[in-house]
Amino acid sequence: MSSESPSSPFRAGAGAALGAPAIAMGVSFLAFGAAVAAAGLGPGWALGASLGVYGMAGQLVLLQAGAGDPAGAALGATAANARFLPMAMAIAPWLGPPSGPGPGWRWLALPFIAITPWAAAMRVLPGLPEAARLRWFLGFALASWLVAGLATWLGLLAAPWLRPSLLAALLFANPLYFALLLAAEGRMPASRLPILAGIAAAPLAILLPAAWGLLAAGLVGGTLAFLLRRPARRGGRARGGGGGGGRG
Amino acid sequence: MLDGRGLALALSIAAMLGLRAVGLLVAGRLRPDHPLIAWASAVSQATLSAFVALAVVLPGGAAASLPLAARLAGLAAGLLAWWWGRGRLLPALLAGLAALVAVRALLGG
């Protein structure tokens, strides 16, 4: 990957984003746009969610939560995307210095830290010269972000012409995509327990109101996994990737 | 004036920016294996896996019209294709969706 067009890291990053990642993301965001239209919401809300929240798990939680409890819905969406915090911590060292003589250019990356750009960047940036890293990330991230917005818009426009059966199949692309990302994370032993604990705690979400259920399941499952893992971490090697968990 | 949906969206956008900003701010101040980071990572993974489990077993909205057998077949086919394809996402995603559609058609859904 380090051999990619050193003359224009931004362009190389954008080019990398417009392959398989764009198609996988595009299907998800197209389905999201159609689901937003099916819920009776407009393009402002759809694009605000796709480009502002920019994390599909949180977007779907927000969409499914309804209008009754805004604080609960926002908390549920935040819990679903809580991985942004450790992801940002893991990627920060590859984006340049946080302060000092320069103005802290890494902050330009702030709105774009999400699963797809993060996973690609963690794979590619270590192999690039330091001066090229932030520009490569911004190229990849901006292209992905625009694909997400465009696909959402197309989903909104296409919704009236999509048969309900096709819309339902497209909606399944989101959980399937996340299941595949979790499978990739599950290759790392440290990630298996939180993933299994989340599945085990999922019934909590059925018992509680929609806006709070997923947050409760994640907190209970994740905290249990964290507590169960602690003795092993103290006794053995402390794996440094606890913050990233692999693929974000 | 924002309605409930708009307010939830605005709060969520602010929260997402906050999560990312805190991550960038504290990077370098905490070790990657700091307990707080490990806990946040575990909660985010558990939340996502709970979300996937619910979306497959008990989905809401239009996805609820898909038979459970079709959803399970789609998930299984996607994971198998991911495994056979050595972690390639796109073929796995397409294989899962194709299995979903095929099983639904077989069931007459």
Residue A47 DSSP class: H
Q: List the single range of A45-54, A146-155, A239-248 with lowest mean pLDDT.
A: A239-248
> B2 vs chain A: nearest CA distance in angstroms?
11
**Torsional sign, CA A125, A128, A129, A133:** negative
**Does residue B90 carry a pLDDT above 60?**
yes
pLDDT of residue A89: 81
Nearest to B44 among A70, A86, A199 (CB): A86
Query: B80: buried, middle or exposed (CB in 10 Å: 19+, 13-18, 0-12)?
Result: middle
Contacts of A199 in chain B (CB under 8 A): 49-50, 52-53
Residue B30 pairs in a beta bridge with: B27
Give CA separation, A65 vs A149, A214, A241, in Å.
22, 10, 32
Q: Spell out the domain ranges in chain A.
A: 9-174, 186-242
- CB A38 to CB B61 under 8 A? yes
Q: Tell me the C-alpha distance between B101 and B109, whole Å.
A: 9
Q: Tell me the C-alpha distance between A208 and A211, whole Å.
A: 8
Q: Tell me the C-alpha distance between A199 and B100, whole Å.
A: 21
Q: Tell me the C-alpha distance between B83 and A243, whole Å.
A: 25
Query: Sorting pLDDT into bands at 50, 70 and 90, what band is A2?
Result: very low
pLDDT of residue A98: 57
pTM of the complete model: 0.74
